[in-house]
Structure 1
Amino acid sequence: MELRRRLAWEDAELNDYFHATVDKQAIRDRVFETIIGRQFSVQATIMEKSKAQPQVRIDKPTFYKYGYFYHFKHGVSKFLDHQSETLVTTASLGTKKERTAFEDAVSDVMRQTHKPNKWKADFMPCQADPCLQVADYCAWAIQRKWERSDDRSYKLIKDRITYEYDLWSHGTYHHY
């Protein structure tokens, strides 16, 4: 919020909230400068959709459930304390029906992988949570590295990435 207010005073061209895909490079530079000055870690599960078998991509909730499962089983497990409360916050997507399907997917994955003492899934618009905006920037940097071999922003957060796994790296067949 401090950065946003500073940029407003500087008459920077701002959108409603920080979003790496649409922000100008000058804004992205300032956001990355701000977030790397803080303590955080990033865990990423890479899913190249065209390599996913047809039954995995029948709909968005099913596709993402695979990612949630492997991410929570391998990427996040060492950060979760099974004796404490866990709040899983993710950006809200689509219709109420889709949101319910995503909540069910997260719930099922949590039951299968961690069984923390108490947990809750919280879906909210990205603009409502600055941490989701930071997650968007980190995901964008990782995506640019993987899809475009553009590692400029990736290099800025590389030392914060504690887990980065290509779920279908072994696959060579593209289903579409």
Structure 2
Amino acid sequence: MTEQSPQPTLYIFLDEGGNFDFSSGGSKYFTLSCVSLYRPFKLHTDLDTYKYNLIEHRIKPRIAMEYFHCADDNRYVRDKVFSMLAASVPDQAVDSVIVEKSKTGPALRPPEKFYPKMLGYLIRHAVGRAPHGVGEVMVITDNLPVSKKRKAIKKAVKTVLSDMLPSSTPYRIMHHSSRAHYGLQIADYFNWAILRKWEHGDVVSHAKVASQIRSEFDIFSTGTRHYY
């Protein structure tokens, strides 16, 4: 009898868009998006090559061209990266939770309650839709928002994921700087395109990577009450 290969680790890279200002002065939407990938991460080599091409040709003026960041990258770079994502990221690899913030009740608005809850829904959906078996879930985020609440958010995230994920599915949460990991930079690009679509009705970038986006769950779509 042959020994079965262990199930692969599912890497989930996260990014969020919008802000935590629950008033008419804040963003209309908050988006939390994830890219689910299995190793090997083949696109990382292409992005690294492109980064050094930009450095050598001085196309991008940011100091040292440390990393890709969609909101700061110029249109030339942005279009190129979106083309690379469309060609190399597997179809149906991206999920997003969309929050119309004015429909969010006051009790849910504190970041240490709001962020873990939305993250829990997103991760549970991503794991449930994973196309292969999952041996372990590795959740990698950028530095968590709202530094003074960071410890409370980390604790709440672990609690929510423990409740929402199957008990047989081990997981780990790691916090890396987006500058150090292309997975987070990829998530930033997808989330930017999704937020632009919902916040501004701009679908240009979204259309380029539409086949990679599996779901955009408008979590309060059936809600009718607006709190401001």
Same fold by TM-score greater than 0.5: yes
- Out of 66, 71, 77, the position equivalent to 1:27 is 77
Please point out which of 88, 106, 117 is paired with 2:139.
Answer: 88
* Uncovered stretches (5+) of structure 1, i.e. residues with no partner: none
User: Aligned in 2, Cα 1:74/1:83: closer, same or farther, shift over 3 Å?
Assistant: closer
TM-score normalised per structure 2? 0.70
The Cα offsets for residues 17-71 of structure 1, whole Å up to 9 and x where unpaired, read as 21111211111111112222213310111112222110110x2121112211221
The residue aligned with 1:143 is 195
Larger deviation, residues 80-89 vs 153-162: 80-89
Query: Any conservation in 1 of the 2:111–2:146 contact (CA below 8 Å)?
Result: no
Supply the distance in 2 between the matched residues of 1:75 and 1:124 (Cα, whole angstroms): 20
Paired residues, number: 175
Counterpart of 2:30 in structure 1 is: none
Q: Which amino acid aligns with 1:28?
A: R
Give the TM-score, by structure 1 length. 0.88
User: Is residue 65 from structure 1 mapped to residue 116 from structure 2 by the alignment?
Assistant: yes
- Tell me the SS of whatever aligns to 1:139: helix
Deviations 1:82-108 (A, max 9, x none): 861211101112566533222222211
Residue 42 (structure 2) pairs with residue 9 (structure 1): no
Unpaired stretches in structure 2, ≥5 consecutive residues: 1-47
Percent identity between the aligned chains? 31
Code of the aligned partner of 2:173: A
Higher helix residue share? 1
Q: Which has the higher strand share?
A: 2
**1:52, 1:94 → 2: CA distance?**
18
Amino acid at match of 1:129: H
Cα shift at 1:2: 1.4
CA 1:82–1:159: 2 relative to 1, 3 Å: closer
Q: RMSD of the alignment, in Å?
A: 2.1
Partner residue in 1 for 2:87: 37
Counterpart selection for 2:99 from 24, 31, 47? 47
Question: Which range moves more in the overlay, 149-158 or 92-101?
Answer: 92-101
Aligned to 2:152: 101
Question: Using a 3 Å threshold, how does the CA distance of structure 1 residues 84 and 145 change in structure 2: closer, same or farther?
Answer: same
Q: Deviations over 1:147-166 (max 9, x none)?
A: 11100000011111112110
